[in-house]
Structure 1
Amino acid sequence: MKRIFWLLVVIFAPLSNIALTSPLPVDAFANLPDVRFVTLSPDGTKIASLIRVNSNTLDGQMLSIRDINTNKDIFPVQTDNQKFVILSLTWASNDIILITAKYPATRRGVPTTEMRLMKYSLSDNKTSSVFSKRTFSRFVDVPQIQSSIVDYLDNDPDHILMQISGLGSKMQYESVIKVSLKSGGIKVKQHAQKYIENWLTDRQNQVRIGIYRDDTSYRIYEQQQADGDLRLLWEFEALDEDAIWPIGFDHDPNILYVNAYHQGLKAIFKVNLTDANLAKELVYQNENYDVEGQLIYSNLKQKVIGIDTNIEGEFLFWDNDYIKLNNGLNDALPESHNVINQLSDNERRYLVYSTGPIESGTYFYGDRDKGALYPIAYRYSQLPPEVLAKPKKVNYSARDGLAIEAFLTTPKDKEAKNLPTIIFPHGGPISYDSTTFDYWSQFFANRGYAVLQMNFRGSAGYGFQFMNSGLKNWGLEMQNDIEDGAHWLVQQGITDPKRMCIVGASYGGYAALMGVAKTPDLYKCAISIAGVTDLESLVKSSRNYDNSKIVKKQIGDDYDDLYQRSPISMAASIKVPVLLIHGTKDRVVKADHSEAMYDELHELNKPVKYVALENGDHYLSNNEHRLTTFIEIERFLAANLGVK
């Protein structure tokens, strides 16, 4: 097995050759991951992954497939991440890999993100759409989303179940189709039903659960078989505490696992669908945080063996065999969060992703028969633990007494005193930060800055009340929570108050601009990457999409008030330099936001720079765009905070 020790040797550099001096090259942090989407074939003999490539002919990524038995590699697919971006890789069988990709487009004048599912066949050495050309003639309208897999049909490797719109009299809603991975032909298994936007199968591959949405109202329906009589299980409003979300079945087709609130925090339950009262039996909860995630199901044992809790990469097993395996991994890799993210069909071979505060990510290949674990790929080969700064969890109180959890990263081997500082609120805003590896904060710390990432009210993970307190709160208490974190750092003596900048992306970009608008003397500069600058425009533009009423429920619908809580309305208050960075094909927050903000600041003779990333998306998916962004940020911070 030693022959697979360096599985993707093309991307590796020996750790001993990596300079441990500070600062590291910008591209050590800014480059796309060296490897991702590492996935194991069902028989455990092949490993596919997406690797980063920088050559004379390609600056992008390519699909790599290694045959463990022959030690040979092939590289059948490549992309520069401009024409299209690969989002995932999955083995449908030992011969076929499914590739999910996206690309920007426009439909009837509305900017869209198109999603497609491709397949690569090893035996044919061919990449193509999962659908044949003849199949598309059956669609009334070509669907925007052509990548939603409902069931991989483990016992039928030649087919998958997908959900897709564009078929039949209810073409705007989702049908479930059986797709032949050989011919590309389809057969409708579940006809579309009005307002049902998602379908869920049981372990016997029957279409059992339909998730209905009409504006902000949700209903969960159950049926005994496809196109059967629908029985209403639960109904609730978006973002309400009584929401109950199905996450999967046990082998028993009557046992459904759900995610719902318990004592104010999300937890995992199971429900017997034959129970008239639909009583929820608590399976797993965390006393301090929400629990969400996916079921871990063993086809070999034909039962649910645990859950991926999404808490710091934590897996919870309740089957003794996997408890022992997980404990062994944690003993072998005690400083990391270790996630078994795939098992072979016989469950003797597996993949592990190991990460942590100063572990940028390592993939391991495990062999249970040999009791061996082999490192096969580093996610960021230039960022071994020795060069990273360890973040720590901190807590402070907002001005109204609310407890805020935050994460502080300070430069490695430097006293946390009177430091230049980056206030770095996350995007979302219903998202969260943690102590797990973050290439942004590590980049800032490597450049000599302290970094504070706070989970302000409205963040995910802290229960219903905490999340709910952020609704329609942009620019208000949510913004105060961020500001209070900055003041706390100064009070603790960690931050030099004359050298503090606020930086963020998406919602974080909004918060950065609001920070220098509402408190013009607190920060010395602001950086907004793909940030929202006009809440009125953001909400109004959602009219073109089917989630517009949910957007209004989250952000608000009083347009005068929204405009007043927008950075663009407060541009005259900004006194410090501003850097705006935005992809021209951003489909989440249109580049119009940064362009309008630049025009407003420029007209007011404010110090502002705008960097347009041509053909860039919301996520800096292109390597050149990432490098440009980080280089511009480094220069801007150095110029305004006086750090060499």
Structure 2
Amino acid sequence: MLTRRLVIAAASTAPLFIHDAFAADGDKNDKAAIVPPSIDELLKGAEVLDTALSPDGSRVAILIERLVKEKTEALVVFYDTSGKGDVAKPVRLGQMQVEQVEWANEDRLLIWTRMEKDPKGRPTGMDFYGEFIPIPVRRLVAIGADGADAVVLFNNQKGVLKRQFNLANVVDRMNTDPRRILMQIWDVKTECETLYLVDVYSGEAVFYERGSTFTDGWDTQNGVPVIRYDSNSRGTVVSVYARAPGEKDWKLYRKVRRNELKKLPDLDFVAPTPEPGVLLMLTTDEGADMPTIRRFDTKSMQVGEVFSQDAQRPIDGVFFDEAYNALSVSSVDDRTNHRFLDPKLAAHYKGLNNYFGNECNVRPFDVSRDHKRFIFHVSGPRHPGAFWLYDVEKKDLELLGESRPWLSPERLAPMKTLKVKTRDGQTITAYLSTPVIASDKPRPMVVLPHGGPEVRDTLDFDLFVQTFAAQGWLVLQPNFRGSGGYGKAFADSGRKHWGDLMQEDVEDAIAQVIASGAADPNKIAICGASYGGYAALMGAVRKPELYKAVVAIAGDADLVETLAFSRSEDGADSDTYAYWVKTIGDPKTDKAKLIAASPSERAAEIKAPVLLIHGTEDTIVTPKQSKIMAKALKAAGKPYELVEMKGVGHRDWSDDNWKMLLTKSVEHIRKGFA
């Protein structure tokens, strides 16, 4: 049986009490007094940002950030896992913003810091074609396990410290070299990504290796680069190079597509192995429906024997220890699951999932060298995230900290899985979130199709979902055909069906919820980003009487223009352009279908007011798409608003961007429901 204890840490001037996010509600909550979170509460920065377990498992570092008298203060709590003596020692870092922690070795802790203003209080950033773009300055600090002897890394490179915004990219912790780590920086002189060996005691950095003009980064084993990634200007076509330990020259292995989530869906090196030059690669075999993890040899550049496969669900990663021993293989169904390779650890993991009611994503986050202590990160629709320490021998579970304790489960909307029967007899999965305030009437509903489209939604915490549910609205997330995460055949079933079959699946999910009596058929809105933005616009074309408001964030509107943009930016012979031709349609043979599936060509059919939001520096979906849609809506005499986010790309939105997006979306939908 699992036991549970709470870690309670206190600093002399700023006490921290870490609450139990998973305690039963019982009678402590007056349901009538429950107040859903505001947008500001949802976006408020986390208090417990990160945790790290020392290699021998004897200590945990807990990174905390708090606002004290309108100034951000940070501290690290060093927690002794033995429970003896003064088990929790807080070390105040002062007025700074922090991001994460990691042990460089048993004695030195790395702390990632962020500064958004210079010493004179001026915002950090750069001028970009007459616009000032805020850019935070990131630095890496190493301190002793007692909080003393702090050094800023790269302190011997004064010019680099002065010029660089980001000096916090650790490529390899180099477990075989306790004194040094491998870091990557952008060399402004050569305009290349460059590797440096950095001493975590002195902070001194020494040049190690330079990439090409196109290099994004490297995969390494014990400080030896074995895979290098070079990409085009948009980052959508990646050349993957391999080099075995001891070799000098890089060899091109493959050119592959990078998706909007910045992942390589066609191959992904998910873990190193203890064998030099051998990695574990996630790939889908010819004719297979589900991906497989195989061994890859950088010397022969051959894909070898199967390490793991699952015929029922897509596997997507490997959790491994500091010696590169694989401990578990992860897969995603409705929730994230880990199949531990050691049956004893598998039994412990099953017990942990049972403890959390089999309703959360329980992810291994860190592990001691002897595998006796783990940190797990736990999240779910009503749990924004918490770190838990688990002692395998004692079966002892301790809450290290919640990221946002003010977002207690009873304030957040629960999410349930729906099995939706489509009009052609198939079954798809959707998720329905219900506001916490009770109602005996059908509710307004916001439909939230995901981006990609070859990704999927899962049962987890979502900002858009909780924002909309807090307004008293149902939120529906359909995993329509063409989504990822269900195998190759399911993804392929959406190819060239953006304007029909994929839209029908969304419509069928809506119809099922309306038929159940949960949703008010007169108050339906649709909102999405990227492909989801396209789906929102096309949904309004197909069902003009259904939707009362439409929000399209960075969405495609003209599919012929989408393909032309990819062809011009990625190249007519690129994997990326070939993928989009296969997925959307061929402009040579499918042009009529592409035009019919383009919302901008059918703007006159839309009745609901449309809100268009787009970043001006979006390189994935060109901002021209929203301008085309705005022009078409204006010509058709339809109500619309176009909001441009200056200097903003496709993703990686700032808190200010998020607040604007959520606030504008809520206001727009509320007006539509009025």
Q: TM-score range by the shorter chain?
A: 0.7 to 0.9
- Which whole-Å CA distance do the structure 2 matches of 1:531 and 1:217 have between them? 21
- Which whole-Å CA distance do the structure 1 matches of 2:500 and 2:169 have between them? 37
SS of residue in 2 equivalent to 1:97: strand
Q: Which one of 251, 258, 265 corresponds to residue 290 of structure 2?
A: 265
Q: What is aligned with 1:639?
A: 671
- Which whole-Å CA distance do the structure 1 matches of 2:644 and 2:445 have between them? 26
Task: Summarize deviations over 1:509-556 as a string: whole Å, max 9, x none.
Answer: 222122213332221111233444455665666689668945533444
Q: What is aligned with 1:323?
A: 346
Confirm or deny: 8 A CA contact 2:257 2:576 kept in the other structure. no
Q: What is aligned with 2:70?
A: 57
- Residue 323 (structure 1) shift: 3.0
- Residue 126 (structure 1) shift: 5.7
Equivalent position amino acid for 2:326 in 1: V
Q: Which one of 255, 264, 280 corresponds to residue 305 of structure 2?
A: 280
Task: Summarize deviations over 1:247-278 as a string: whole Å, max 9, x none.
Answer: 23321336532212253111223357799975
Unpaired runs of at least 5, structure 2? 80-86, 117-123
Task: Summarize deviations over 1:304-328 as a string: whole Å, max 9, x none.
Answer: 2223445523222213553354244
Distance 1:87 1:398, change over 3 A: farther
Q: What is aligned with 1:83?
A: none
SS of residue in 2 equivalent to 1:363: strand
Q: What is aligned with 1:24?
A: 36
Q: What is aligned with 1:178?
A: 197
Task: Summarize deviations over 1:136-180 as a string: whole Å, max 9, x none.
Answer: 89xxxx999876543210232432224566599xx6776654344
SS of residue in 2 equivalent to 1:440: helix
- Residue 393 (structure 1) shift: 1.9
Q: What is aligned with 1:133?
A: 158
Confirm or deny: 8 A CA contact 2:140 2:153 kept in the other structure. yes
Q: What is aligned with 1:156?
A: 177
What TM-score, normalized by structure 1, do the two folds share? 0.79
Q: What is aligned with 1:522?
A: 546
Residues 6-17 of structure 1: pairs in structure 2 closer than 5 A? none
- Which whole-Å CA distance do the structure 2 matches of 1:177 and 1:410 have between them? 50
- Which whole-Å CA distance do the structure 1 matches of 2:15 and 2:451 have between them? 35
Confirm or deny: 8 A CA contact 2:52 2:101 kept in the other structure. no
Residues 525-536 of structure 1: pairs in structure 2 closer than 5 A? 525-535=549-559
- Which whole-Å CA distance do the structure 2 matches of 1:18 and 1:625 have between them? 33
SS of residue in 2 equivalent to 1:314: strand
- Which whole-Å CA distance do the structure 2 matches of 1:630 and 1:641 have between them? 16
Is 1:304 paired with 2:306?
Answer: no
Residues 58-137 of structure 1: pairs in structure 2 closer than 5 A? 63-68=74-79, 69=87, 71-76=89-94, 78=96, 89-93=101-105, 94-99=107-112, 118-122=139-143, 123-125=148-150, 132-134=157-159
SS of residue in 1 equivalent to 2:475: strand
Confirm or deny: 8 A CA contact 2:62 2:400 kept in the other structure. no
Equivalent position amino acid for 2:244 in 1: Q
Q: What is aligned with 1:249?
A: 272
- Residue 363 (structure 1) shift: 1.9
Is 1:4 paired with 2:28?
Answer: no
- Which whole-Å CA distance do the structure 2 matches of 1:430 and 1:50 have between them? 36
Distance 1:167 1:528, change over 3 A: closer
Q: What is aligned with 2:479?
A: 455
- Residue 501 (structure 1) shift: 0.8
- Residue 433 (structure 1) shift: 0.5
Confirm or deny: 8 A CA contact 1:295 1:307 kept in the other structure. yes
Worse-superposed segment, 97-106 or 406-415: 97-106
Q: What is aligned with 2:50?
A: 38
- Which whole-Å CA distance do the structure 2 matches of 1:258 and 1:575 have between them? 48
- Residue 502 (structure 1) shift: 0.7
Worse-superposed segment, 604-613 or 559-568: 559-568
Q: What is aligned with 1:575?
A: 607
Confirm or deny: 8 A CA contact 2:220 2:226 kept in the other structure. yes
Task: Summarize deviations over 1:561-603 as a string: whole Å, max 9, x none.
Answer: 7676443443333211223345566665566655664565456
Is 1:353 paired with 2:374?
Answer: no
Q: Which one of 201, 214, 220 corresponds to residue 201 of structure 1?
A: 220
SS of residue in 2 equivalent to 1:228: coil
- Which whole-Å CA distance do the structure 1 matches of 2:198 and 2:595 have between them? 47
Is 1:442 paired with 2:442?
Answer: no
SS of residue in 1 equivalent to 2:291: strand
Percent of residue pairs identical: 24
Equivalent position amino acid for 1:27 in 2: I
Confirm or deny: 8 A CA contact 2:35 2:411 kept in the other structure. no
SS of residue in 2 equivalent to 1:292: strand
Equivalent position amino acid for 1:187 in 2: F
- Residue 355 (structure 1) shift: 2.1
Confirm or deny: 8 A CA contact 2:36 2:436 kept in the other structure. no
Distance 1:74 1:315, change over 3 A: farther
Confirm or deny: 8 A CA contact 1:513 1:567 kept in the other structure. yes
Unpaired runs of at least 5, structure 1? 80-85
Confirm or deny: 8 A CA contact 1:356 1:435 kept in the other structure. yes
Task: Summarize deviations over 1:104-125 as a string: whole Å, max 9, x none.
Answer: 8688999999897620233455
Confirm or deny: 8 A CA contact 1:13 1:382 kept in the other structure. no
Distance 1:416 1:449, change over 3 A: farther
- Which whole-Å CA distance do the structure 1 matches of 2:110 and 2:401 have between them? 20
Residues 229-248 of structure 1: pairs in structure 2 closer than 5 A? 235=254, 238=257, 243-248=266-271
Confirm or deny: 8 A CA contact 1:432 1:460 kept in the other structure. yes
Task: Summarize deviations over 1:444-465 as a string: whole Å, max 9, x none.
Answer: 3343322211112332212223
- Which whole-Å CA distance do the structure 1 matches of 2:451 and 2:663 have between them? 21
Confirm or deny: 8 A CA contact 2:153 2:205 kept in the other structure. no
Worse-superposed segment, 587-596 or 375-384: 587-596
Equivalent position amino acid for 2:175 in 1: D
- Residue 360 (structure 1) shift: 3.2
- Residue 432 (structure 1) shift: 0.9
Equivalent position amino acid for 1:306 in 2: S
Task: Summarize deviations over 1:378-434 as a string: whole Å, max 9, x none.
Answer: 233233233444322223344555542211223447579743221110123232101
Equivalent position amino acid for 1:57 in 2: E
Confirm or deny: 8 A CA contact 1:341 1:352 kept in the other structure. yes
Q: What is aligned with 1:337?
A: 361
Residues 383-532 of structure 1: pairs in structure 2 closer than 5 A? 383-412=407-436, 418-470=442-494, 473-532=497-556
Residues 486-635 of structure 1: pairs in structure 2 closer than 5 A? 486-535=510-559, 549-556=574-581, 558=587, 565-582=597-614, 589=621, 593-594=625-626, 597-598=629-630, 601-602=633-634, 604-610=636-642, 618-619=650-651, 621-635=653-667
- Which whole-Å CA distance do the structure 1 matches of 2:641 and 2:15 have between them? 40
Equivalent position amino acid for 1:280 in 2: E
- Which whole-Å CA distance do the structure 2 matches of 1:256 and 1:135 have between them? 33
